[in-house]
Structure 1
Amino acid sequence: AGGLPSVEAGRRIAVADIAAVQQRFDRLGRLTRLDIALAPGARQEAVAEDIAALLPAGARLSTPEAESRRTGDLSRAYRVNLGMLAMVALLTGGFLVFSAQSLSIARRRAAFALLRVLGLPRTGLFLQVLAEGAVLGLLGAAAGLAAGAGLAWSVLGLLGGDLGGGYFSGSRPALDISPGWAAIHASLGLVVALAGSLLPALEAARAAPALALKSAGQSGDPRRRPALLPALALGLVGLAFAFAPPVAGLPLFGYLSIALILAAGVAAMPWLARLLIAPLARMEAPVPVRLAAARLAGAPDQAAVALCGLVASAGLMAAMGLMVASFRGSVDDWLGAILPADIYLRVAEAETSGLDTGLQARLAALPGVGGLEARRSLTLRLAADRPSVVLLAVPVPGGAAAPDLPWRRGPVPAAPGETPVWVSEPLSRLYDLAPGDTLDLPLAGGRTPVRVAGVWRDYGRQFGALAMDRRDYVRLTGDAGANEAGLTLAPGARLPEVLQGVRAALPPDLAAQTEAAPAGEIRRAALRIFDRSFAVTYALEAVAILVGVAGVAATVSAQTLARRREFGMLRHVGASRGQILAMLALEGAFLGAVGAVAGLALGAAMGQVLIQVVNPQSFNWTMDTRWPLGLLGGLALALTLASSFTALLAGRSALSADAVRAVREDW
């Protein structure tokens, strides 16, 4: 009769008179929702108590606030984890600021020393470098907000609000830029820039002016052993935080644990660089190898500056790669466990109708069909302030005590006279259920007590599902229909022919809302959705690696410029230009290799926190660890080659000056 105004794009909604709907769908006298407005002056709590006393056992009383909170919970973990992933990119940007400021200070070491000699106090120099960092932060934040708005607009237009995951297909949300959040993001950029400038500012202020005027090398004593205790303390505290419970359902301590483990790895870089490189300086090797190893072993602080951004980005990428590989492998195994049949049917939006017993029998008798397992799935509300859960009425083979599910705990046999149910891992975590516990289900207008007989792994329903023997479901509800079915092929049957016969056997009014597909196709489609969902993760990981390599380039460039006189001296004593370039390339390769080793070790630790802490506390499911050896090996090789290449490029510009002019100040 007309169109609906102000309906969100992509949503398929029809509105009709309730009496006509009840008559057409054979639901006379049945209602699923009542919206109640209070009279002026009525107290909500008192009215709620009176209404609750009149409701049937299967009904739940809720408020607009609870409904808003429930719908917000549907995407909260997704939004928080995506936000934390964005914070990772911001963190690696802080390391880039640190490398850029270190480069700037190395270039101006003599100028800063002159300012100190002319009377500028240490505090003034410290504040000057911090002010430069603040300007960088403000300019970067402004450019980042503009670029972020443009990228967000493009991503929403191309992929939608779920980044191509397929969860909210058909909708294209409008770009919403909040001034408050924009100010918070800009403030975060400023804080990260100031934090990245803090250590270079302290280094510039502490440098002795007389020494800085003559030498641009490492200011500390190269014989001093780098401290390891701060790194151990940070690592132990981060490990302790990994065992902390969630806060308001969010893994805040898990993220803090990852941050502290990352800080511990960066703090251990001077010690680790000397530990791994010092043996190279003592071995008999060609001159460029010995020079490169001696240089890095004698200046561990400078090596740490070059490594911090690289180790951070490599560690974060390894951690995310480990988590994604583990998640994907576990999802693949889970799909294989829950899709044992050859063909699956699903009647969309049919919780009370669908495949009646006659149609089930006709489908089971089709040529090429060796067996049919029908099931009913419907939603239940176990708590008014929580999202609905899914009840699966599944067949249990004769003689078996439980269905064939990917078990986490159990199954255990139920006592005589009890109705067993098997809860998914998310439901077990959200409602604190374990095998042996009891639960009341709102079925057939009443409350049915059931016994939890096992916990199974489920990645398809984040807010929980429970399985029940279909015979028990029919006995309790009288509903022998089904809205899902799995068909097994008979020996020698061809899948395309059987699938065509199944579709032809469906009544015309039911065929339009029935999805029929082979199990392999469903599995591939689910994995495609998984890969699209994590595509943004891979993109941010690539950005983090680029930032890390840029940090190496900036730091090596700074040290190369500061070492012009060293290169001139080497040329005077007989080193060729090719040998010096080889030395610089080897220094970069050594840095990349050390960064890869440290980054992979850090990534393994942080990846376990993601797998064992962050994911269970965010999404209420666990996974088995899978080691993506190809990805990790490729990452280590790429970092080593990229670091060597950037060091070589930086060295070519430094060696362009004449060797005599480079050492003229030492005459």
Structure 2
Amino acid sequence: MSSGSTMRKVSARNVAAHKLRLALTVLAVVLGTAFISGAFMFTASLQNTFQEAVSTQYDGVDAVVTADTQKGSTTINPEMQQELRDNPKVAALNVSASTNVVLGNDKGEAIQTGSASSRLTPWYGGDDAVTGDKHVVEGKTPKGADEVVVNKKAATNLGLSVGQKLTVVDPKERHERTISGIYEIKGVDKGDVLLAMDEQAYVDEYTINGNLPGVTIRAAEGTSSDELVEALQEKYPTYEISTGQALAEKISEELSKALSFVKYFLVAFGLIALLVGSFIIANTFAMIVAQRTREFALLRALGASRSQITRSVMLEAIIVGIIGSAVGVLAGMGLVKVIHLVMEHKEYLEPGASLGLTPQSVLVPMALGLVVTLFSAWLPARRAGVIEPVEAMRQSEQTAAGSLKGRTIAGTVVLLIGVACAALAVVQKEWETDPRSILVGVATVAVIFGFFLAGPAFSLPIVPTIGRILGLPFGAVGKLAATNSYRNPRRTAATAFALTLGVALVAAFSVLGASMKASMADLVDDSLRADYVLSGTSSGEFPLPTEAAEKVKDVEGVANTTELYYAPVYVANMGSTSAEADGKGFSIIVDGDLSNYAEVPLIDGRMPDADHPGFLASEKLAKEMDWKVGEKYPLTSALVREPTHEVELLGTYEASASLFGKLVISKNAVSDVVNENILAINSVGVNAKSDTDKEKLRQDLEETTKSYLVVQVKDAKQILDESTQIVTKLLGILYGLLALAVIIAVLGIVNTLTLNVIERRQEIGMLRAVGTHRKQIRRMITLEAVQIAIFGALMGVVIGVSLGWAFLRVLSGQGLDSFAIDYQTIIWMLIGSGVVGAIAAIWPAHRAAKTPPLDAIAD
């Protein structure tokens, strides 16, 4: 048989003749590639949507002028604003500013806006507007500080009307304002509440002495955007000045970078799914090769060479890879469309958004799916090629352990290397966190690969034991099921491994989540001293109104209060800033006795107070910046880059045992650097007098702050519950994404059992011939599946919990000092795995039960 075309025909006809086998193998490829393709399309779709929104925002803007602290400018003062308005090249100038607000009705009850945001901006309409064709369709334009207009879509959604009184709460105080009109805006209106008020009233209320961060400009007729920008750059060299189009492109580029994280995050889970799928594909092809030994023997006897047999199996893999990847791309499109429909229903997305279909979203998943399939099929294809005609004509199933010696030794060595790496990472506490984390990562790869090699040997004592326990109520059928799993440990381990991998990931994340919750509980219990903490919205998007914080001090029963602010203030040192070292743009500012709010684990020095302004730093940050307790360092702000004031480092503390991060500055130390109006209150700690009923105090605090709509009064338990809910939601997302890998693992069990039933046709036929009922056959196959699934889950739990523990020990210096196991999740995983095995066995068991006894024996 010399013709390659003949072998290609054989491969193609073989694939076409076994449609069920093809479908089961293709499905493993489809799910992984669908997720990857969907990730590329979804992020491209979001990117297109955001770019359209940014483009609309700057449509018609010829120039954007903003202060640039690097060049020496901090704000655009009223004199400069007037100069710009008087410039003959300028047709219109708009203030670039907005303020987040919360709305209430005339009864002081919050108006629920759902997922929509609420913002207040200056009003510009008609020729006064630089961008956005806005015009009032009902009522009139706003005048003075007591009137606002609202966009039509928000008015319709919330039932707002002209003349209605609104409570408008901003970060400083609450106001009563009247809706004077409703307006429509050309372009994208996603349902956000867009209030607007008279420009001068806005500037007076929400700026410091009329100073602005930026303005947008429309050029006069006959002046191009580039000419205007060039002229303004020459006159105002210390400001950042660019065209609207250039700024839109810059923002779009930054959005693309931000969205790339979402894409990589989703792609990572797609790759996990493909990794799990690769073991299923390899197992499937190995079984197919084992079942087709006679066929390959006949082809070899007819003259087919080893390489031709190998290539024929690889050709089948190519067909599977191409079909699976193509269907995966189509499935990815469907997945994105479903997400779009949900987002449109929630008004996160405008109807008709593009699917984000790009060459990348098609070619990358196609290539990955094909490569993974070929790689997975390579060893089975090689095994098919080395089958000798005479040996292949003898039917003998692989048995337990003789051929497992080499692979078991290799697997054990790799496993021990992984364990050694994890142990080294745990014990070397003087090393930095990064190299220790990398070592745990190496250990993870080694342990998983080592278990893959040694898995068949582990299955020999464990699976039959599980089988005997499960089979006790089922008598002879239970014993037979346990024996069947023992007969082919390679197949048993390969079937279970995909589930092991998925469960190991879930177990590791469950340990991480449980430990994070335990660490939070320990930190709150040990550190928080305030009886109640008052804050703004739980999302953190809206601060506590300053006016509300002042009123709380006068509530009966309040002994003291401590206010925490966030502000763009840094402690500078040799050109660097503490904010850069901390990785954050804001520092914590404290007004009051910090020790009344929470325990501060001082290592050296003293606490700041009214007579001793200064700052505290974590011991680690102080070492990084070479700060010494008692020394003074320049204080600066993002608004004023040059250091303007010196403050003393009063003390250092242990950050991992503190609620305050890496840097805390007393409010009386920053008053010379920033205007108090830019300080946003993050929270207020309230302590009760010794003879005060704390529950009554809570009610009084809630009643006092009720009219500010956003104020939440929380005790330690509520703070902890709120913090752990964030972890729970994050874990929910991770579990949902990891469910894809578990689904593929289930398909692997279905796939293997189905092929197993085909391979054991004679055996099952003989059982039927000697009197075994169909129900008993179904029960036997189901028990085999359940014990394999439980074995895979048990191994996954052991691997996941162990590696999770090692990783947490490495992170113990970062605030994760507690170790906890989520036993509930692990128990449910084990029970669920058994159920998964039973469900996976439904189709193969049904197929096995239908085997005709005499026909099977004759075959």
What band does the TM-score fall into relative to the shorter chain?
0.7 to 0.9
Q: Would the aligned equivalents of 2:440 and 2:807 in 1 still touch at CA under 8 Å?
A: yes
Could you say if the C-alpha distance between residues 29 and 194 of structure 1 is closer, same or farther in structure 2, counting changes exceeding 3 Å?
same
1:91 to 264, 267, 275: 275
Q: Provide the rounded CA distance (Å) in 2 between the counterparts of 1:235 and 1:436.
A: 47
AA aligned to 2:604 is V
1:412 to 604, 608, 630: 604
Q: Provide the rounded CA distance (Å) in 2 between the counterparts of 1:340 and 1:74.
A: 37
Determine the structure 1 residue equivalent to 2:39.
none
Q: Are 1:390 and 2:570 matched, yes or no?
A: no
State how many pairs are aligned: 618
Pairwise CA distance, 1:449: 5.4
Pairwise CA distance, 1:600: 0.9
Q: Which moved more, 1:238-247 or 1:82-91?
A: 238-247
Pairwise CA distance, 1:70: 8.4
Determine the structure 2 residue equivalent to 1:201.
381
Could you say if the C-alpha distance between residues 499 and 386 of structure 1 is closer, same or farther in structure 2, counting changes exceeding 3 Å?
closer
1:132 to 293, 316, 332: 316
Determine the structure 2 residue equivalent to 1:57.
none
SS across alignment from 2:685 = strand
Q: Are 1:314 and 2:497 matched, yes or no?
A: no
2:827 to 630, 633, 655: 633
Could you say if the C-alpha distance between residues 95 and 486 of structure 1 is closer, same or farther in structure 2, counting changes exceeding 3 Å?
same
Q: Would the aligned equivalents of 2:401 and 2:457 in 1 still touch at CA under 8 Å?
A: no
Could you say if the C-alpha distance between residues 29 and 586 of structure 1 is closer, same or farther in structure 2, counting changes exceeding 3 Å?
closer
Determine the structure 1 residue equivalent to 2:784.
587
The aligned runs of 1:2-41 (5 Å cut-off) are: 2=125, 4-5=131-132, 9=190, 24-25=205-206, 27-28=208-209
Q: Would the aligned equivalents of 2:782 and 2:842 in 1 still touch at CA under 8 Å?
A: yes
Determine the structure 2 residue equivalent to 1:453.
652
Q: Would the aligned equivalents of 1:368 and 1:498 in 2 still touch at CA under 8 Å?
A: no
Aligned-pair Cα RMSD in Å = 5.3
Determine the structure 2 residue equivalent to 1:355.
546
1:421 to 608, 616, 634: 616
Q: Would the aligned equivalents of 1:343 and 1:518 in 2 still touch at CA under 8 Å?
A: yes
Q: Are 1:485 and 2:684 matched, yes or no?
A: yes
Q: Which moved more, 1:516-525 or 1:104-113?
A: 516-525
Pairwise CA distance, 1:222: 4.5
Q: Provide the rounded CA distance (Å) in 2 between the counterparts of 1:72 and 1:433.
A: 33
Deviations 1:571-621 (A, max 9, x none): 6677666665554344333322321221111222343466567x899xx87
Q: Provide the rounded CA distance (Å) in 2 between the counterparts of 1:570 and 1:498.
A: 78
Pairwise CA distance, 1:518: 3.7
Could you say if the C-alpha distance between residues 339 and 538 of structure 1 is closer, same or farther in structure 2, counting changes exceeding 3 Å?
farther
Q: Which moved more, 1:2-11 or 1:321-330?
A: 2-11
AA aligned to 2:826 is L
1:266 to 452, 456, 476: 452
Q: Provide the rounded CA distance (Å) in 2 between the counterparts of 1:406 and 1:125.
A: 72
SS across alignment from 2:684 = strand
Q: Which moved more, 1:642-651 or 1:120-129?
A: 642-651
Q: Provide the rounded CA distance (Å) in 2 between the counterparts of 1:370 and 1:326.
A: 35
SS across alignment from 2:781 = helix
2:711 to 493, 510, 515: 515
2:534 to 339, 344, 363: 344
Pairwise CA distance, 1:202: 3.1
Could you say if the C-alpha distance between residues 587 and 350 of structure 1 is closer, same or farther in structure 2, counting changes exceeding 3 Å?
closer
Q: Provide the rounded CA distance (Å) in 1 between the counterparts of 2:208 and 2:302.
A: 92
Q: Would the aligned equivalents of 1:103 and 1:557 in 2 still touch at CA under 8 Å?
A: no
Could you say if the C-alpha distance between residues 146 and 568 of structure 1 is closer, same or farther in structure 2, counting changes exceeding 3 Å?
closer
Q: Provide the rounded CA distance (Å) in 2 between the counterparts of 1:231 and 1:293.
A: 25
Q: Would the aligned equivalents of 2:531 and 2:687 in 1 still touch at CA under 8 Å?
A: yes
2:735 to 534, 538, 552: 538
Could you say if the C-alpha distance between residues 32 and 369 of structure 1 is closer, same or farther in structure 2, counting changes exceeding 3 Å?
same
Q: Provide the rounded CA distance (Å) in 2 between the counterparts of 1:453 and 1:230.
A: 51
The structure with the larger Rg is 2
Q: Provide the rounded CA distance (Å) in 1 between the counterparts of 2:394 and 2:323.
A: 34
Pairwise CA distance, 1:215: 2.0
Q: Provide the rounded CA distance (Å) in 2 between the counterparts of 1:585 and 1:89.
A: 25
Q: Sequence identity, in percent?
A: 19
Q: Provide the rounded CA distance (Å) in 1 between the counterparts of 2:750 and 2:214.
A: 63
1:498 to 700, 717, 721: 700
Pairwise CA distance, 1:123: 1.9
Q: Would the aligned equivalents of 1:568 and 1:660 in 2 still touch at CA under 8 Å?
A: yes
Determine the structure 1 residue equivalent to 2:837.
643
SS across alignment from 2:556 = coil
Determine the structure 2 residue equivalent to 1:58.
none
Q: Provide the rounded CA distance (Å) in 2 between the counterparts of 1:224 and 1:387.
A: 52
Scaled by the length of structure 2, the TM-score of the pair is 0.59
AA aligned to 2:819 is T
Unaligned runs of 5+ in 1: 53-62
Determine the structure 2 residue equivalent to 1:304.
493
Q: Provide the rounded CA distance (Å) in 2 between the counterparts of 1:153 and 1:433.
A: 50
Q: Provide the rounded CA distance (Å) in 1 between the counterparts of 2:617 and 2:382.
A: 60
Could you say if the C-alpha distance between residues 251 and 535 of structure 1 is closer, same or farther in structure 2, counting changes exceeding 3 Å?
same
Q: Which moved more, 1:385-394 or 1:194-203?
A: 385-394
Deviations 1:201-235 (A, max 9, x none): 23333444444444262278757536333324544
SS across alignment from 2:604 = coil
The aligned runs of 1:324-335 (5 Å cut-off) are: 324-331=513-520
Could you say if the C-alpha distance between residues 270 and 144 of structure 1 is closer, same or farther in structure 2, counting changes exceeding 3 Å?
same
Pairwise CA distance, 1:569: 4.5
Q: Provide the rounded CA distance (Å) in 2 between the counterparts of 1:548 and 1:302.
A: 14
The aligned runs of 1:521-560 (5 Å cut-off) are: 527-560=724-757
Could you say if the C-alpha distance between residues 263 and 350 of structure 1 is closer, same or farther in structure 2, counting changes exceeding 3 Å?
closer
Could you say if the C-alpha distance between residues 265 and 8 of structure 1 is closer, same or farther in structure 2, counting changes exceeding 3 Å?
farther
Q: Would the aligned equivalents of 1:113 and 1:210 in 2 still touch at CA under 8 Å?
A: yes
SS across alignment from 2:652 = strand
Determine the structure 2 residue equivalent to 1:60.
none
Q: Provide the rounded CA distance (Å) in 2 between the counterparts of 1:621 and 1:10.
A: 41
Q: Provide the rounded CA distance (Å) in 2 between the counterparts of 1:233 and 1:8.
A: 62
Q: Would the aligned equivalents of 2:529 and 2:598 in 1 still touch at CA under 8 Å?
A: no
Determine the structure 2 residue equivalent to 1:158.
342
Q: Provide the rounded CA distance (Å) in 2 between the counterparts of 1:652 and 1:301.
A: 24
AA aligned to 1:377 is Y
Q: Provide the rounded CA distance (Å) in 2 between the counterparts of 1:24 and 1:111.
A: 86
More strand by percentage: 2
Q: Would the aligned equivalents of 1:457 and 1:621 in 2 still touch at CA under 8 Å?
A: yes
AA aligned to 1:631 is T
Pairwise CA distance, 1:176: 3.7
Pairwise CA distance, 1:282: 11
Q: Provide the rounded CA distance (Å) in 1 between the counterparts of 2:732 and 2:249.
A: 34
Q: Provide the rounded CA distance (Å) in 2 between the counterparts of 1:17 and 1:571.
A: 88
Q: Provide the rounded CA distance (Å) in 1 between the counterparts of 2:738 and 2:266.
A: 13
Could you say if the C-alpha distance between residues 340 and 220 of structure 1 is closer, same or farther in structure 2, counting changes exceeding 3 Å?
same
Could you say if the C-alpha distance between residues 219 and 521 of structure 1 is closer, same or farther in structure 2, counting changes exceeding 3 Å?
closer
Q: Provide the rounded CA distance (Å) in 1 between the counterparts of 2:206 and 2:771.
A: 95
AA aligned to 1:502 is T
Q: Provide the rounded CA distance (Å) in 2 between the counterparts of 1:260 and 1:98.
A: 20
Between 1 and 2, higher relative CO (CA 8 Å, sep ≥ 6) is seen in 1
The aligned runs of 1:134-283 (5 Å cut-off) are: 134-155=318-339, 158=342, 176-215=356-395, 217-218=397-398, 222=402, 224-225=404-405, 227-235=407-415, 258-277=444-463
Scaled by the length of structure 1, the TM-score of the pair is 0.74
SS across alignment from 1:261 = helix
Determine the structure 1 residue equivalent to 2:28.
none
AA aligned to 2:484 is R
